[in-house]
Chain A
Amino acid sequence: MTLVAFIVVAGAGAAAWWMVGRWPPLRTVVGLVALAACVVLARALPSGELTLFGDDALQTTTFLRLWLLSGSAAALLLLLLAETLGRSSRLAPAALVLLAGTAGALSLTDAAGALLLVVATTTLVGVVALSDRSGRPGRESIGILRLPIAVAVLGLLGIGWASVGGLGEQPTTMLAAFTLVGAALILGTGAVPFHLPLARQGEAVARPLLPLVLGWLPAVLAVVVLEWSGARLVPLDPDLGLVRAVVLGLALLTLAAATVAMLLQEDLGHVVAYAGLQGLALGLLGYASIDGSAQASARQVLLLLPLWLAALVGVLLVLETVGGGSDLKALSGWVRRAPVTAVALAIAVAVAIGLPGSAAFAARGSVADVALGPTVGTVALLLVVASVSAWLRLVWEGLRPNGSAWGAAERPNMDAAAAGAGPDRVRRLLAANRIPIAAVLALALAILPLAMSLGFGHLEAAAAGPNPAASVRPVAPTPSPSPTITPESTPSPTPTPPSGFPPTPTPGLSASPAATQTPGPSSPVPTSSIGD
């Protein structure tokens, strides 16, 4: 029940944040305490725990544990950084909703249910993010409904096609399923040229929420889709022909377009946003590869994505606060004045592009090679590497002489701290030193994905571990007997785990070939149940 406790704490934390909305200091405390509790609970999450829910279950995996632990820690650090700079916005409730939704979506054994949990989380985070602004929302707010619903409809229809009893393994059926679910993924991850809905949401939200909206949510969607694909498509290895080529082409186009856009943009916020879209394109490559090992590699890339994006946003927040804006030309001399932030940027970019020799670098190579072949795969990787020039441009600006506006926003804080002793001296000192404190927090945010990409947390093994969607209770409406379907025996008086969880006997219909493809956790499987 640790996972259920995690979901309850995250959800209750978000609710409590809203309830104490009139007292900002208390709100801050609630957000920090709830996120810290999430870190502790994620740390205590056992791998292989099974919480039964009717004929489905919530299954914890090492991958889920790593995602929740790193995500909670990154959200906590980003919240501390944003609070330090006075820009926390609604980061705490959005992150808590996202943590609860991620915990449910990545553990549910029903792929369609998991997709719907991602849709619900996307909608709620959209509301939390947009409700931050004052004034009457306009037509741009329609996106919080249209985008998730489009993803849900396409995804559900695709998953439904792949589930048709008796027809499910026919090539045309699998092609239709791949196309529909792929379309959902393309929309949800903002692949070029379908990136506008996601990009508009990124434009509308406050800066601290960028890694949530443009990184975390699409990455969770991609992982859910990859898990479904690993359970339904990969074992059958269907011939997907032209449709697969189109999806691969869109992923390649996104990699190229994001690199070009990063070079052309004058606003650092846009550069960070396009870096996120570029990372998500690797998830799309993983989906189109229809290969188990490439999809495991893609899961590694997707787990790291929100972490390095959060670090880049941390750097962005520091530079915006101290430089007075995010225009690259307004940031002259920032490297000289903020060396710790520069180190944080260097580390985050190294993880984003891939540090040679690290697990993350090998994962990128694996995804690109398997999906596109060695030659085109190398081109794809070079496109990612080429985006480093956008960051070099930022560093080049930072090495130039200081701009006149640099640090102007901090002068009142510095003057107040120098004013002398008094009861508020500690607070004034903290305010005067908020930039160095925020820079250290940005550095901590960058070190988190670096450590994981270098092997901390056994990312590689976690991403290759059990897949909850592979143990989906297969839905087989056809009453006619099929040679691969075993009729259910007499109902068991006690709850038993659904199929795919050895060594427990398999109840229900075991029509899914994937149910035997991915091994479940080793025995004994700790189980608990919700409801009947």
Chain B
Amino acid sequence: MPVVPFLAATVVIAGAVMAILATDARLTTAGTAAALLAAPFVADPLPQQLGLGVRLVGAGLAAYLLWTSMRQAAPLLGPLPLAGRGEAAFVLAAAAIGFLADAVTSEALGPTAALAAGGALLVGGLDLLAFGEDGLRLGSGALLALTGASLVLAELGGTPGAGLEAGLAVATAAVAGAAAWLTVTTLSPRREMRLAARHGDLRDIG
């Protein structure tokens, strides 16, 4: 197995686990950013310089948007349904299954760890997107799921071309922008990141 994709996949999985386990918004943001920035390197051969550059710019912009929006809020995040540890276990299990499937089907699908990293991100991202109660976790979940799907696509279809990388970069930045907007506009009067039940709900103004 090539070293760079394997190391990058390890960083991606670790980032996803950190984003899910953390109850501190800074760690969630850092984990998401690590996964986004390492994901383009989970490919063999690596993408063209143009595509890689565009993708990294998109990931960097996404990380910046999440970071700046998160700084306006209180750092503590609410718990997840399985306290984070259960969700992280699912992510690690998905990664293990991905590595196993990769080993079994490497002849047919290509010699990268993209399936493991992609599966882990998909499970973690969709979990956050489904059960997140604040803009940051929802946005982090959306970004992880999007990146995970792109990694599975890279595993199935080969190293992404510049067009796909550009599409991913634009989509990543756009989703991060939406997440940042949600994070900032849904802050409670006490600067807590929690979505109100409905538009304009002021019941928790206490």
The answer to whether A113 touches B149, judged by C-beta atoms less than 8 angstroms apart, is no
- Say whether B163 contacts A156, CB under 8 Å: no
By a CB distance below 8 angstroms, the chain A residues around B166 are 53, 56, 108, 113
Beta-carbon contact of A145 and B182 below 8 Å: yes
Given the complex, which residues of A lie within 8 Å of B2, measured CB to CB?
none
In residues 166-202 of chain B, which contact A (Cβ within 8 Å)? 166-168, 170-171, 173-175, 177-179, 181-182, 185-188, 195-202
B195 contacts across to A, CB distance below 8 A: 137-139, 141-142
- In the complex the two chains form, is B145's CB within 8 Å of A140's CB? no
Tell me, in angstroms, the Cα distance from A149 to B146 when the chains sit together.
Answer: 7
Measured CB to CB, the closest approach of chain B to A489, in angstroms, equals 18
Q: Which residue of A lies closest to B48 (CB)?
A: A54
Question: Are B170 and A112 closer than 8 Å at their CB atoms?
Answer: no
Q: How far is the CB of A153 from chain B (nearest CB, A)?
A: 4
Interface majority SS (helix, strand, loop, mixed), chain B: helix
**Contact at B108–A123, with CB atoms within 8 Å?**
no
Which residues on A sit within 8 Å (CB–CB) of B50? 53-54, 530-532
Q: A116-B171, A145-B179, A146-B129 are in contact. Are A477 and B199 (CB under 8 A)?
A: no
A53, A159, A478: the one contacting B162 at CB < 8 Å is: A53
CA distance A165 to B156 in the complex (A): 8
Bound-state CA distance A527–B190 (Å) is 56
| A117/B153 in contact, CB under 8 A | no
Contact partner of B158 (CB less than 8 A), chosen from A136, A167, A475, is A475
- B109 and A477 contacting across the interface, CB-CB below 8 Å: yes
Q: How many residues of B contact A (CB 8 A)?
A: 58
Residues in B with CB closer than 8 Å to A480 are 107
Q: Please determine whether B156 and A161 come into contact, CB atoms closer than 8 angstroms.
A: yes
Contact call A124/B178, Cβ cutoff below 8 A = yes
Interface range for A: 35 or more
Q: Given A145-B138, A164-B109, does the pair A477, B164 have CB atoms closer than 8 Å?
A: no
Q: A53-B50, A124-B178, A139-B198 are in contact. Are A475 and B157 (CB under 8 A)?
A: yes
- CB atoms of B168 and A116 under 8 A apart: yes
- B142: interface (CB < 8 Å): yes
Proximity bits, A216-238, B CB within 8 Å = 1, else 0? 00000000000000000000000
Most chain B C-beta atoms within 10 Å of own C-beta, residue among A126, A141, A531: A141
Contact A152 B146 (CB under 8 A): yes
Contact of B201 with A153 in the complex, beta carbons under 8 Å: no
B197–A139 touching, CB < 8 Å: yes
Task: Please report the C-alpha to C-alpha distance between residue A121 and residue B178 in the assembled complex, in whole angstroms.
Answer: 11
Contact mask for chain B residues 124-159; partner A; CB cutoff 8 A; 1 contact, 0 none: 011001000000001100100110111011011111
Q: How does the 8 Å CB contact mask read for A330-346 relative to B, with 1 for contact and 0 for none?
A: 00000000000000000
User: What are 24 A-to-B residue pairs whose CB atoms are below 8 Å?
Assistant: A108-B166, A110-B163, A113-B161, A115-B167, A116-B171, A117-B170, A119-B175, A120-B173, A136-B186, A136-B187, A136-B201, A139-B198, A140-B198, A142-B182, A145-B175, A146-B142, A152-B171, A153-B126, A153-B149, A475-B159, A475-B160, A476-B158, A477-B157, A531-B162
